[in-house]
Structure formats: structure tokens, C-alpha cells
Chains A and B, each alone.
Chain A
Amino acid sequence: MTIKEIQDAIVDEFSMFDDWMQRYEYMIELGKSLPLIDEKYKTDDNLIKGCQSKVWVHAALDGDKLVFTADSDAIITKGIIAILIRAFSGQSPKAIMEADTAFIDEIGLKEHLSPTRANGLVSMIKQLKMYAIAYQTQLN
């Protein structure tokens, strides 16, 4: 599936919820189901700055695809990361670099897109794209 197709699927899933409560409960579920990052990658180097909660993101190439693993000490933040990873992990660095992130708005998480928001969703997306740029350079 392309990033766009995955994003559309996520938007579809979220459209089933009537209110914020259900959306948040789903995000919390996603957070709890986020595959654990290898403890050795939970280093200060992999910490994303600008988040009130701690967020670690690790990236590694699997062939020509970029695979992300991540963790956070806050569950809602973990849910947001789970959504991002589902959309971006296992894709080519080029596709990640060029990916649009408007689906965040469509699933009702727009409030988290504000740059001043303490969970640092914007920092997370930026970090994923930075990894993509770095690995794209490596692939070239």
C-alpha cells in the first residue's frame, strides 16, 4: 500500500467514531499496541526535542525501505506515534519525504498539529522526514 492508501484507511477507521472520547480511546489502544522499540535505541540521541513527554524514534533501512520503531512515556503520544508509524514505516525514504500529512487533520487530531502543542506532533513528523532525507542521501 502507498502512504496515501494507508492514510485513507486510517481516516476511514476514525470516521466511525462519533466523538472525541471514542477517538481518544482508540488512540490509547493504538498506543498500547505499539510494538516496543529495542531498549538499546532509547537513547538521548534518539529523543525528539520539543515534547513534554519523552519520545524516542529509531530508523533503519530494510533494503530500500525505511523502518521506524518508537516509544513514548505518555500513552496518548504513543497513540499518535503509532498512527504516524503505520503511515510511514516500511516506505521508501523518497515517498516519506514527499508525503502529505493532511490526514492528521481529517482524523480530528488537528489540535495536535499546533507547533506549540506540548506533545510535539510537529517535531515527530519533522524527525521522521529528517530520517527519510538522511537515508535517501545514503541510498543515492
Chain B
Amino acid sequence: MIDVKSIREDFPILKREINGYPLVYLDNAATSQTPKQVIDTIVDYYSNYNANIHRGVHTLSQEATDKYEMARKTIQKHFNAKHSYEILFTSGTTHGINLVASGFAALLKPGDELLVSAMEHHSNIVPWQMLCEKTGAVLKVIPMNEEGDLVMDSYKALLNDKTKLVFCNHISNALGSINPVEEIIAGAHAVGAAVLIDGAQACPHLKADVQALDVDFYTVSAHKMCGPTGVGVLYGKEEWLRKLPPYQGGGEMIAEVSFEKTTYADLPHKFEAGTPNICGGIAFGAAVDYLNGIGMDAIAAYEQELLQYATGKLLEIPGVRIFGTSANKTSVISFNIEGIHPYDIGAILDKLGVAVRTGHHCAQPIMDYYKIPGTVRASFAFYNTREEVDTFIEAVKRARNMLL
């Protein structure tokens, strides 16, 4: 069990008022809030050891390098990667996906097939479309059903020896469905295809074990798991990272440079051109430590309780329809009220201090599937309370009364 009251003390922002109402922050799937342990790490970095890392001869540079590499090890341990050099620091999930898509340009030929799930965020669709344009590879879609589950029989039917890559989110940002990634990975490997899992929505709720999953690439953003924005990691299996060409050229990623020939640095630096987000990386490590201090299992169990409670209460409101009703879902509720545009609900909720997201959630194909303009999405974190769920429900009722 987790002690929500004391956890909330760690998050200064949760004390804010919006329009005179206490903030009820239910937009955690967009970005999570930052505990003071992470904020302190950022302040400490800039106050005490801000320096450029690697190859620095002076003390500050050594300290910053040590902390940065320690953060990489913390993150390696968290995701159970075999080697720390399989953890590449990126600017976030999108960067990780683009890095892999760019690398595969050299490995694909016309007619090769890539499989994407129907419930992806645009960031896990567009880079692959660009890759297909570049290489002549063909993008095929794994369909989903009304509940928001992937149709696994269709997936299996799509797999063949032309399939080179499969990419899918671990958890859907718009629906909250937890996808059967083990089965997806095993199926892809059986035909020799590589798999990239977008873990942006999964990382705040569960601990992915990349070795147990046997996944080829797994990518996350720090800001979804109580870390800062602008930093994330891409896990890549060593064999793949050796096979893929560098993503960007620059400092840090080289071994030797002459105008005749440049040789690339070893992993992970081959993929980390330029001065990285040093403070962000270190703060990401602090965020991972913070979450593990509470315990990912305890977090998941608590969030499930909130989800069940909120779902039950919401469904009592006439006209509410929830999108994403998978038996396997995380603490995200996407919904609409009959006869009301999601934007209107979001605008009233904001006036009442309740922060939700409205719109297509960067997943337009899902909205097209349900033939809706968008949804209201409330996403819960371990620092949310049942009382906040009650406030949210009352706010939705009030919005409904005003708008209908």
C-alpha cells in the first residue's frame, strides 16, 4: 500500500489553485508532475557541478560525467538491460523512434513490410511512413476492435517473411489498453522481424523487463515518469545497435576524425552526438529512483483502484461513453458525453480546476475508428486521490448540466 498523503507532499505543484479551486491534475498521460527529489537534483546540478561531460580533465566535469553515467546504470537496472551501453540517452520517445527509423533506411528494400498497430500515437506512425517513402517498404496496419484491443489473429495473418519491423505501443495513450507485447514480439521474431515498443505510456505504470520481453528496441520519455521534459532513453539490443548506422554526426560520437575518414565511437556514444541533456539525464535517474522507492507494483495496484473507482462513478452519469474498455488497461479514461463536444467539457473542467486533455490525443486513426472528433481523457497517477476522483466526477456533472 502507498501513503498518498505523504507522497503528495513531495509534489509542490499539487498545492496550486486554478481559478480559485484546488488543482486536480488528471493529465498525467501527457506529462507527469515532478517530485521535489527530482527538482532538488536539477538545482543541485546547476548549483554545484554543471560542466560538460566526458573527456573533461577538471573535477566538475568528472563529477558530472560520473553522475550522468550513474543515471544510465540506474535506468539500465530499472529496465533490466544486459549492458549499460544498450541504454541510449535521447530527447524522448519520439527521438528514439526516429533514431531507429533512420537507421533502418539502410537495411530495407522495396517490398519489405512494416507492421504498425492501429492505436499508435502519431509519433509511432509518421517516422515509419517517412521510412517507407524513402525505402519503398510497405506499411501495414494491425487492426483493433471496439474494446480497444489489438486483433491478434489479424496480426499473425499479417506476419510473413517480408515483415522486417513491427512497432507498437506497450500501452495506448488514447485508450489505456495494455497490448500483449510478449506475443507481438514472439510472433515477429518467428519470422525474423525486429520489434520496437513505444513504452512512453507504460513506463509510469509498469516496469518493462527488456530481456524477459526479448524486445529489440524499447523507448521511453523521462517526463512521463516524474522526470524532466526533453530527455528519454532508447534501449536497443547490442546486436542491433552495432548494425544500425549513427543517427546524427557530431562531437561525442566519433573515435577519430580526419578529412579523409572518420571512425565512430563505441556504444552508446555512437548514437549520442553533441552535448547531451546532462542535467536531464541525471534528473531522469533521480526520477527512476523515486518511483522505485515507492515501488512500481504498489503504484500499479493503487492506480488500478483509482481506475475502477473512477470508471464506476463516471458510468453513473447519463450519456457517458468510455472509449477503451479492454480488460487489460491502465489508469486512463477516454470518454465522451452524448450530445456534447469534448472540447466544451474540457473547457468547463479547466475552469473548475480539473486538468484533463481533450482532442484526438495525437492518435487520429483511433478517433476515425470510433467516428468521433475526439475524447475527454482523464489519466490518473499514484499521487491522485479518491477525493480528487470525486471532484472530477462532480465537475463533469456540472459541465454536463451547463452544456446540455
Complex CA distance for A20 and B18, rounded to whole angstroms: 13
Q: B341 touches which one: A20, A24, A73 (CB < 8 A)?
A: A73
Could you tell me which residues of chain A, from 23 to 54, have a CB within 8 Å of some CB in chain B? 24-25, 28, 52-54
Write the chain A residue with the least CB distance to B340: A75
Complex CA distance for A55 and B359, rounded to whole angstroms: 15
Decide if B402 touches A25 in the complex (CB within 8 Å). Answer: yes
Could you tell me which residues of chain B, from 337 to 383, have a CB within 8 Å of some CB in chain A? 340-341, 343-344, 347-348, 351, 358-359, 373-374
Decide if A74 touches B343 in the complex (CB within 8 Å). Answer: yes
Closest 9 pairs between A and B when the two form their complex, measured CB to CB:
A74-B341, A74-B343, A53-B343, A52-B343, A74-B344, A76-B344, A52-B359, A76-B347, A75-B344
Q: A24 touches which one: B340, B343, B373, B402 (CB < 8 A)?
A: B402
Q: B374 touches which one: A20, A21, A52, A119 (CB < 8 A)?
A: A52
Instruction: Determine the chain B residues whose CB is within 8 A of the CB of A24 once the complex forms.
Output: 347-348, 351, 402
| Selected A-B contacts with CB under 8 Å, 22 pairs | A21-B402, A24-B347, A24-B351, A28-B402, A28-B403, A52-B358, A52-B359, A53-B341, A53-B343, A54-B373, A73-B341, A74-B341, A74-B343, A74-B344, A75-B340, A76-B343, A76-B344, A76-B347, A76-B348, A77-B344, A118-B359, A119-B347
Give, as a whole number of angstroms, the nearest-CB distance from B383 to chain A. Answer: 26
Q: Does B48 contact A (CB under 8 A)?
A: no
| Interface residue ranges, A against B (CB under 8 Å) | 20-21, 24-25, 28, 52-54, 73-77, 118-119
Decide if B403 touches A20 in the complex (CB within 8 Å). Answer: no
Complex CA distance for A73 and B344, rounded to whole angstroms: 10
Instruction: Determine the chain A residues whose CB is within 8 A of the CB of B403 once the complex forms.
Output: 28, 75
Give, as a whole number of angstroms, the nearest-CB distance from A21 to chain B. Answer: 8
Q: Does B258 contact A (CB under 8 A)?
A: no
Q: A77 touches which one: B340, B343, B351 (CB < 8 A)?
A: B343
Decide if B359 touches A75 in the complex (CB within 8 Å). Answer: no
Instruction: Determine the chain A residues whose CB is within 8 A of the CB of B262 once the complex forms.
Output: none
Select the residue from B344, B358, B374 with max chain A CB neighbours within 10 A.
Answer: B344
Kindly list 12 other residue pairs between chains A and B, CB separation below 8 angstroms, not including A24-B348, A119-B347. A20-B351, A24-B402, A28-B403, A52-B374, A53-B343, A53-B344, A75-B341, A75-B344, A76-B343, A76-B347, A76-B348, A119-B343
Select the residue from B340, B347, B351, B374 with max chain A CB neighbours within 10 A.
Answer: B347
Complex CA distance for A72 and B119, rounded to whole angstroms: 27
Write the chain B residue with the least CB distance to A23: B351
Complex CA distance for A73 and B403, rounded to whole angstroms: 12
Decide if B402 touches A20 in the complex (CB within 8 Å). Answer: no
Decide if A20 touches B343 in the complex (CB within 8 Å). Answer: no
Instruction: Determine the chain A residues whose CB is within 8 A of the CB of B347 once the complex forms.
Output: 24, 76, 119
Instruction: Determine the chain B residues whose CB is within 8 A of the CB of A54 once the complex forms.
Output: 373
Select the residue from B343, B358, B374, B403 with max chain A CB neighbours within 10 A.
Answer: B343
Complex CA distance for A53 and B348, rounded to whole angstroms: 15
Give, as a whole number of angstroms, the nearest-CB distance from B42 to chain A. Answer: 25
Give, as a whole number of angstroms, the nearest-CB distance from B114 to chain A. Answer: 30
Complex CA distance for A25 and B358, rounded to whole angstroms: 20
Complex CA distance for A21 and B349, rounded to whole angstroms: 11
Q: Does B19 contact A (CB under 8 A)?
A: yes
Instruction: Determine the chain B residues whose CB is within 8 A of the CB of A52 once the complex forms.
Output: 343, 358-359, 374
Complex CA distance for A42 and B130, rounded to whole angstroms: 33
Complex CA distance for A74 and B359, rounded to whole angstroms: 12
Give, as a whole number of angstroms, the nearest-CB distance from B228 to chain A. Answer: 21
Decide if B402 touches A73 in the complex (CB within 8 Å). Answer: no
Complex CA distance for A28 and B19, rounded to whole angstroms: 19
Write the chain B residue with the least CB distance to A74: B341
Give, as a whole number of angstroms, the nearest-CB distance from B357 to chain A. Answer: 10
Complex CA distance for A75 and B342, rounded to whole angstroms: 10
Instruction: Determine the chain A residues whose CB is within 8 A of the CB of B340 once the complex forms.
Output: 75
